[in-house]
Chains A and B, each alone.
Chain A
Amino acid sequence: MTEAQAPAPHLEEVEVTPWREYFSFSTDHKVIGIQYLVTSFVFYLIGGLLAELVRTELATPASDFVQRETYNELFTMHATIMIFLWIIPTLTGGFGNFLVPLMIGARDMAFPKLNAIAFWIIPPTSILLLCSFFVGPASAGWTSYPPLSLMTNKAGEAIWILGVILLGTSSIMAGLNFLVTILKMRIPSMTLNDMPLFCWAMLATSALQLVATPVLSGAMVLLGFDLLVGTNFFNPAGGGDPIVYQHMFWFYSHPAVYIMILPAFGLISEILPVHARKPIFGYQAIAYSSIAISFLGLIVWAHHMFTSGTPDWLRMFFMIATMVIAVPTGIKVFSWVATVWGGKLNLCSAMLFGMAFVSMFVVGGLSGVMVASVPFDIHVHDTYFVVAHLHYVLFGGSVFGIYAGLYHWFPKMTGRMLNEFWGKVHFAMTFVGFNICFLPMHVLGLQGMNRRIAEYDPKFAALNLVCTIGSYILAVSTVPFVVNAVWSWLAGPKANSNPWKGLTLEWTVPSPPPVENFEEDPVLAIGPYDYGTPKALDFVAATLALPTPALAADSSE
């Protein structure tokens, strides 16, 4: 089915974006999406390198690889880069930009220039953040709690604060844009309940970005004043209250966890049905649970502060609120399992990453409910148990979701197929390396290893070595992916417009889609997940009859 169709009659009419466009202030949402994806992947590699340095230090109990101060800088910048320059920009900026307009039948985002500005804030800011390595970067953890953050590496901390404000601004702009786009730019025949679930997820995410991020910016401005002007908002030396900072910080940074996972939920809800050849199980439950998570996500922040001297009633409130999130999240997980159950699974790389997402996210979700329980959290807070938990959610969850999305939509974005064999090699190494690296950390935390330390009790040496080996496997696992992606983008086999036989609107346009996406406004002919119906066959047949654009490499041949 995937061979090239009969040569398209109007091959010349489909224009392909010239490569220079990707380095310009383009307002095309697809170009911006790819700009986000490529930029943030570079930062994933940089953040990963920092993580490998951290793990190398932790391979032995003594502090013997880098200076102690440097170690703190490494994990601070690792977290900052992974959160603000990799997961958030990739999921919202990258996939959101590329997919949302296509999925709702729009020709672009609601505010194309704002969209471009939101992206172009990122490169200078990220370079600024990296430059802080020349003056000693922030070293108080990505949480940057005062008073410690006011006492170490002032220049680096100032750069960090400025960077977070700028990236937050970019995120607010993107959130506003998505909200308006999803609510106002759908084709008339598509009601909210006809939207692909990724759009529901982006709707929930954008609301969080809009509501929560300004509070982070506020906290950063005050922290900046404390740092640079000598005010005492948070500095106890002058009567300030460092706990207030923690409240403001987590009011954003807990929702940020959902900003980092909800779009991945959306990607998985798209990918599983396509490759299981089966409708998503419980569309509305999945859609509305995203909204529920988004709302609940706003009222659970203080569960990061159970040991901060928070009053009892507050602890209890935040414990219950946090545990309640397990219900909508559980609905999603069970729905995904039921989607796969009884399907006809095409176990391609995208599907493997998608199923692994569910499998790994469940581990992070279960440990998440555990740490929500105040008495237990009092033991494991700030230990490797939490490090394990957050990496199961953000790597086993978000990053596996991103990889699933990259394998799934690479043909649509580039017009070429990724190599499946190397994709599976990549998957196997990532899955194995990830679990070797992070599973033992649960035990370390329970046994008494605290986090953010350069040296530890020798009784933890064996498990830490295992973790470090796992992290090296993870590092190596990116090599097949990068080589595969670069090679396939340049010279991979051509993709037709619907290689996976999907039913959402992005598969009704050529791969890669032309500028302005749709020649004429599409009309919704079929629900996004109506697999197994005669209509689906007709739909797929029609999409496969579309012309294949001439790709750059071909024209030079």
Chain B
Amino acid sequence: MKVPTAILTLIIGILITLASLWVSQNNGLLPIAAAAEATEIDRLFTAMLAIATGLFLLVQGALLYSLFAFRRQPDDATDAEPIHGDVSLEIVWTAIPAMLVLWLGIYSFDVYQSIDSVGTMGSHNMAHQHGEMEMVAADQGSDSTRLVVDQSDVSPDPLSPAVATETVEPLQVNVDGLQYAWLFTYPDTGIISGELHLPVNRPVTLNITARDVIHAFWVPEFRLKQDAVPGQVTHLNFQPTEEGVYPVICAELCGAYHGAMKTRSIVHSGPEYQAWVDSQLVANTSRETVAQSVTTSPLEHHAAAMGLPDHLHESHQSDLAQAKHSPSAS
């Protein structure tokens, strides 16, 4: 009994699709997603992996099948059938990839807009997303992609009413890369740290620069990376959503000890973060002069140039209320 080609093709197509979906859904290739942006990027990766797996199976399957089915018989010296091409087939395999990359381009653009990880205005990020959310709420389902994007905003955390209800000024941290260490300065409290401490579920804006050569700030669990370029300030906006300790890695070759240029990023719960801020401030009161001198550092200069607002801490929610009364670099 011979199965008709059309049915066979259909079955193979369905099997490849199912396999691709299964692989992409269960890939387990990425570390945990510890920021809202990471969730978005993972979703994009899953979609790309599904398409890639499908195409991979298609091409490798055809090649492997050919390897066995179309092997020349030892006694056969004749040529195969002279088929020079097939216009409709060629149109199909031009049009389908074209549509796929177009879709992927739009999807990537959309994800990129929604994470806005490098926009120069940190607060714009959240305002934008929440404006979007209202729009979607008002006009359910009219824009399915947006809806998908916004779900991550809605879903993550009942724990952060501050974030969900109104725009929160992002926590500003100045990041300074130098051979071979990272330095984190919190302009609104004057804290300087070798490790990046962040409160969970609060937007963060990193203002990144370097002192000597180009470095790159990377936290794999946030899925975010930004070069630190001497003489320039670059930005990274994101919102950590999972408490934990994650590596901060230099991702741009910066010299002999490039591989050793590592530190930690610690995402705290609100109270824990506050405790850390307090402990730093207590430790710093005796080193007040040190904190003051930072004001004149090149990094602080950048912060001023970007107009890091004096009123920054006024808009802070209660978790930073105490910090208001503390000595501040601003």
Contacts and interface: CB of A to CB of B under 8 A. Distances in A.
A379 B229 contact: no
Given A331-B90, A331-B93, A359-B60, A236 B249 contact: no
B188 interface: no
A243 B108 CA distance: 24
Interface in A360-388: 362-363, 366-367, 369-370, 373-376, 378-379, 381-383
Given A362-B59, A378-B223, A532 B253 contact: no
A453 B101 contact: no
Most chain A beta-carbon neighbours within 10 Å: one of B45, B67, B105, B221: B105
16 contacts: A68-B259, A72-B255, A145-B214, A147-B214, A277-B79, A278-B81, A309-B226, A330-B94, A342-B70, A344-B70, A375-B111, A376-B41, A447-B29, A450-B251, A453-B258, A536-B79
A239 B118 CA distance: 23
Give the dominant DSSP class at B's interface.
mixed
Interface string A418-447: 000000000000000000000000110011
Given A369-B101, A375-B108, A63 B259 contact: yes
A154 interface: no
B80 A455 contact: no
Given A362-B60, A374-B108, A345 B101 contact: no
Contacts of A342: 70, 80-81, 83
Interface stretch (B48-56, B189-197, B270-278, B303-311): B48-56
Contact of B251 (A283, A366, A383): A383
B280 interface: no
Given A345-B66, A382-B251, A277 B72 contact: yes
B13 interface: no
Contacts of B104: 323, 369, 373
Given A341-B62, A362-B56, A376 B48 contact: yes
B220 interface: yes
B323 interface: no
A452 B62 CA distance: 36
Contact of B80 (A139, A278, A338, A443): A278
Given A344-B72, A448-B31, A532-B81, A456 B259 contact: yes
Contacts of A277: 72, 78-80
Interface residues of A, number: 93
Contacts of B178: none
Contacts of A446: 29-31
Nearest 5 A-B pairs (CB), nearest first?
Answer: A453-B259, A448-B220, A236-B231, A532-B82, A532-B79
A407 B111 CA distance: 47
Interface in B190-231: 212-214, 216, 218, 220-221, 223-227, 229-231
Most chain A beta-carbon neighbours within 10 Å: one of B78, B234, B255: B255
Given A147-B214, A369-B101, A340 B63 contact: yes
Contacts of B72: 277, 344-347
Contacts of B79: 277-278, 344, 531-533, 536
A363 B56 contact: yes
Interface of B: 29-31, 40-41, 44-45, 48-49, 52, 55-56, 59-60, 62-63, 66-67, 70-73, 76-86, 89-90, 93-94, 97-98, 100-101, 104-105, 108-109, 111-112, 115, 117-119, 212-214, 216, 218, 220-221, 223-227, 229-232, 234, 247, 249-260
A428 to B, nearest CB: 13
A373 B231 CA distance: 28
A324 interface: yes
Contact of B224 (A278, A280, A367, A378): A378
B61 to A, nearest CB: 10
Contacts of A478: none
Contacts of A312: 112, 118-119
Given A278-B81, A307-B225, A447-B29, A375 B220 contact: no
Given A68-B256, A315-B112, A331 B80 contact: no
Contacts of B249: 448, 450
A280 B44 CA distance: 36
A323 B105 contact: yes
Nearest to A289: B94
B224 A379 contact: yes
A1 B79 CA distance: 14
A259 B140 CA distance: 50
Interface string A220-260: 00000000000000001101011100000000000000000
Contacts of B90: 282, 285, 331, 334-335
A342 B66 CA distance: 7
Given A326-B101, A448-B220, A145 B253 contact: yes
